[in-house]
Amino acid sequence: MAAPSDKLADPNFLAFVARGLNDEKHERRSEGLSFDPPNPSQRHAAILDSLAFLLVSQLEKQIIAVGVVVIEDPDPAKVETQIIVAENKTPLDASIQKQQPPVAGKRDSPPHLRPHIVYGTGSPVERELVDLEIALITYSWPKLKQRMMKNKRHLNFIDVVADVYGVLAQERIDLDSEGRDLLDTLQKSSASERDLLQEMTAAAREAAEALQRTPTRLNAVELRTNLQVLLIGRNTLQKHTSLVDVWDQYTRHRLLQKGAQVRKKPDVLRWLSKVSSIREHYLHIAQIPISPTLSGLLLRGVKVIVLKNPPPVRKFSLDRDELENILVSAGCEFIAKDKSEKSIEKFLDKLVVAHGKKVTDGKLDVSITVPVHCECLLLVHLHQQPAVPYIGVSKLSCGFCRMYFAAYREVTRVEFYARGSHGQTGPWTLPVLGDATLSLEIRQKSSQSTAASGEVAQEDENPLDLVRQERENVRAEKFRSADRVETSFV
């Protein structure tokens, strides 16, 4: 039986089939696999990404996208800046609205923002900015606690520092020779490194203690200072890669000797980055008063709009022959080369596992409830609105969202970007654009790209080569459209 062409032209259906490719993609996951917007250095891009990051308060699976719409009007009373917030699901309560994003404009803004303002000091504007940060820290308390203490990473750090300051490595009879050598290297670190480590361990201990308590203003002020120490420590340690490498090896060795299970290689820099990320993102937000794009906009009335995102329920049905036809029509080379039962059965098996279903009477029937991903929902909402052409997202986008943005740019010729993509795919739903003709064109482009993703994933290509090519294309595109982008939003 031939696959009906309407199925082949349906990105939702193809996204459902593409889940059979997931294993390969997970193995290929790479932190560096990203598709950057043409000008990531634009300050407003970093600010919007940080704003999205700071609005995440739930412990798991909350992804937030943020966009800005600028309503101009000859009547100054009608001039307005809208902050549009979308989530991968409809927020159950109005928690986002309650938390007004930290974007109040400041007319007497300082020309340069000092990286750390001591609480209760500084100019009135600086005091307000610190108050805002304290409010954000309080809001993110549970998430901060999770980042600090997950898998007892803070204790690993504190324990290793205690070893560095403790009994000389060669006298540690409880360690084997490898452990003694690693510790010996750490104990030989310079006096300034040792001072920093001592300060960091105190900060980690105090931060962990503060996070066990309730998020009062005082606890938040204390936590803010400790996070700043950990951020400085992170920035210093990342220049000492050989020390960090020995640090991670020793941490692992130590845990194994204690009989602990070590599933992930310890990564002290990653932990420090996660723990102190709220400060880093906040420092981006604090740039708003001195950002040429956003400060002007945010001096006017700001309205926060939270988009609803009710997931549609869709049913898909597929048998083995249909699957073969789809894979062949989509140009999946591994099927064209090897039309054996085995390769198609293998694909079908993966699909069954990915959707957690069974094949009944030769058919895989799946009912899927997947909301539109937040960056795509926002893109559709911002279409033809006077918006800053950048959507801030709290995490890198998936491969399908990247394709949708590319299709949108190609069809509408509007250069809208989000921060980039990790290239993985998961459950996905095609957004619907108000303009029916454009929507159809984007749908066609997306289904071509979604189908082509099968080809890409099965060939043994280096994903970085693809990224490099894409970056080249994007840079060329940027060069061509530089005038327009830069004159509208800098």
| Binding-site ranges for Zn ion (CB under 5 A) | 373, 397-398, 401
Q: 388 CB contacts (<8 Å, ≥6 apart)?
A: 44, 48, 67, 68, 69, 70, 293, 294, 297, 489
Distance in angstroms (rounded) separating the CA atoms of residues 186 and 323: 57
State the nearest-atom distance from the C-beta of 428 to Zn ion, in Å.
6
String of b and e for 410-441 (b: at least 16 CB within 10 Å)? ebbeebbbbbbbbbbbbbbbbbebeeeeebeb
State the nearest-atom distance from the C-beta of 90 to Zn ion, in Å.
17
> For the CA atoms of 357, 359, 363, 368, what is the dihedral angle to 10 degrees?
0
Compare residues 88 and 448 and give the one whose CB is closer to Zn ion. 88
Compare residues 179 and 420 and give the one whose CB is closer to Zn ion. 420
State the nearest-atom distance from the C-beta of 350 to Zn ion, in Å.
20
State the nearest-atom distance from the C-beta of 36 to Zn ion, in Å.
16
Residue holding tokens 């509208």? 488
Residue holding tokens 């050598």? 181
H helix or E strand, kind and range, residue 271: helix 268-285
Compare residues 47 and 377 and give the one whose CB is closer to Zn ion. 377
Compare residues 322 and 375 and give the one whose CB is closer to Zn ion. 375
Helix (H, G, I), strand (E, B) or coil at 85: strand
**Beta-bridge mates of residue 80:** 71, 301
What is the DSSP-derived secondary structure letter of residue 279? Answer: H
State the nearest-atom distance from the C-beta of 150 to Zn ion, in Å.
24
Compare residues 15 and 467 and give the one whose CB is closer to Zn ion. 15
State the nearest-atom distance from the C-beta of 291 to Zn ion, in Å.
27
Distance in angstroms (rounded) separating the CA atoms of residues 391 and 380: 11
Compare residues 236 and 424 and give the one whose CB is closer to Zn ion. 424
Compare residues 145 and 373 and give the one whose CB is closer to Zn ion. 373
State the nearest-atom distance from the C-beta of 31 to Zn ion, in Å.
17
